[in-house]
Structure 1
Amino acid sequence: MNVCAPKTLVRRSQMLHTERLLEFMTVPKEYNVVQGLIGLGPDIMLELLTDMTSVRDVQNFLAVDKATLVLKDHERFSKATETALADRTGTRVVFIKRLPQLATVLNPHPTEEEKEDVRTLMFDIMTRKDENTSQEAQRIKKTTLSFKNLRIDNNTSFYAWALIYINGIGQLKKELCIFPEIDTEKKQQLSREWFKTIQLPPPELRFEDVKSAGAYSIAKTVEGQLWSRGMKDDGSWDDGEQWTLNSHFNAKDGLIPSSLGPSKIRTFCFE
């Protein structure tokens, strides 16, 4: 008769119990296992894609290895990347000043001299130490151009331009645009002086859309409020550069009266 020591019996019992546990600890491969690595399965990686807010981040993630690249063929890939694809952010903008539409209709084959009238301007966000320098704050979501006709003397005037944009965290920002035709020190000086007079909404507000008709601009907050530049409270044109909460399109709690009751402004356009 063989007799085992008590400690040996305990160890064998623990080993048997562990083996039984391992038999039942099978994790569905579809959910969180890739090539035997627990916690790196398609569904978990798709959750990571859902939290990404830029196309560049998605591209970098897919390029890690073959295990991540195959996610592009997953049935849930389109849904997981909706946020990143809808964001449409970038860090650089190219403006193209083209010929007037009438000129292109009358002469669909412009000369080399006429082609020179098509000007471009590259814009990069200018980082300032006293502002938010995070990566998202240095991205561009929406852009538009505003302008002002400035007089040099009684007989001469020109247009000064400013870029109004929404950055990655929803703030309304501005940058001076010096197009090639602003080619004298006097024009550049007047442009800078005008640009300093532009007063934007408070930085704590979050915007989702901005449009401009040049001398008149509108921006919409996430809550549906409309802020405008170039319009007085009575609806007449305003020559100033102060962005204000537009009294014509805002009412109590961000809602405005309509035939269907109080409504929230979801979109707007210029005619």
Structure 2
Amino acid sequence: MEVPSEYNIIGGLLGLGPDILLEILSELRLIPNAVQFLGVCNKTHQLMNHQRFMTIIETLSYPIEIINKDPDCAEFIDINCAQKKINKKKDESNTISLVQVLNNGIWTLEALFSNTEGFAAIGIVRDSYDIPAEVDYGAIPHTDHIASFYGQGYPYPVWYKRKGTKGNAGLDDNQILRLEFDSFKGTLILFIDNVQQPVYFSGIKEK
């Protein structure tokens, strides 16, 4: 007789296996609630590696809001509530940020660049810092408030407070880039095509 071990496991969270936990996750309607659920312990965090995880997450609703300081330079196209396409209309420096404050959980953002020739970056900005229009995120004073992973066109793949660090692969076009921010641990980790990069940011406690 086979035992449905994936459903109830002694020693698991409340004795429940991953399939039951995924059912609980699927009942949550808002991504912030799902983020908090995934951050309960290491076992719930591991649900992110389950083959059903992305299917469930796609059913959740958390509209993306973007701060657009230069509407003449960037065009935003809604794909759905969870995805946006950003087209640059001018060849100049711009830093685009999200409205959401990332706290109380584990947050994931995915992006894909095209036609950047290696001159692009993705990262995190202090919520209290107001990024001006038409600025280079790596320049002073912006770099004191923005931690970034850089593209292959730059000499350093990691940049913060005017200091570059090597060790990661530089970003390139047509890669699936995933940032994972853990507000409990204060870490920001980069994955390139599902491969975790060794250099990451830690000690992120300020909003």
TM over 0.5: no
TM-score, normalised to structure 2, is 0.31
TM-score, normalised to structure 1, is 0.24
Higher normalized helix content (fraction of residues): 1
Q: Greater Rg, structure 1 or structure 2?
A: 1
Bigger relative CO (Cα 8 Å, ≥ 6 apart):
2
